[in-house]
Amino acid sequence: MTKLTLGSHPFLLGFDQLERLVERTAKSGNDGYPPYNIEQRGENAYRITLAVAGFAENDLSITVEDRQLVIRGKQREDEDARVFLHRGIAARQFQRSFVLADGVEVAGASMEHGLLHIDLKRAVPDSVVQTIRINNTAKADQ
């Protein structure tokens, strides 16, 4: 029996990249840190919020690499050695990735109260109607 994949289904022409995107997302292996929310803020606007308590703005980097939003965090070591009697606030480095759909762009980022907000917007494509002319091959052969 032949395995029918998403990219090989006869009604889904040109969607073979979608299967690769799903595989790439599944392989990202995020461990749940830092926790995040994704909210819809309008018809074509979204916001990703990450809880990054203890990280300063210069400890974080946000990049878009091949339609993949990548947020990295790495705290710089303090010069003065601190002695913790209890350390409950996670301070480990992280990388969190999100695959962006075609037309979704990062509109901006801000930080407040230990939360990193990344605003996304989807460009609304113009509706295009294309008329295809039908050639009569019988007349062309004569």
pLDDT tens digits, 45-56 = 999 999 998 899
Q: How high does pLDDT run on average in the chain?
A: 82
Does residue 29 surpass a pLDDT of 60? no
Please, is 34 exposed, middle or buried when counting C-beta atoms within 10 Å of its C-beta (0-12, 13-18, 19+)? buried
The rounded distance, in Å, linking the Cα atoms of 27 and 12 is: 24
Least confident range from 23-27, 44-48, 58-62, 116-120: namely 23-27
Does residue 1 surpass a pLDDT of 70? no
| More reliable by pLDDT, 78 or 49 | 49
pLDDT band at 87 (very low <50, low <70, confident <90, very high): confident
Any idea which fold 31-125 has?
Answer: Immunoglobulin-like (2.60.40)
How far CA 17 is from CA of 7, 34, 102, 113, in Å, comes to 7, 28, 11, 38
Q: Which residues contact 75 (CB under 8 A, 6 or more apart)?
A: 54, 55, 56, 59, 91, 93
pLDDT band at 91 (very low <50, low <70, confident <90, very high): confident
Q: What length does the chain have? A: 142
Q: In degrees rounded to 5, what are phi and psi of residue 97?
A: -120, 145
Which pTM was predicted?
0.68
Does residue 64 surpass a pLDDT of 60? yes
Tally Cβ neighbours within 10 Å of residue 17: 11
How far CA 85 is from CA of 81, 82, 88, 89, in Å, comes to 13, 10, 10, 12
CATH 2.60.40.790 residue ranges in the chain? 31-125
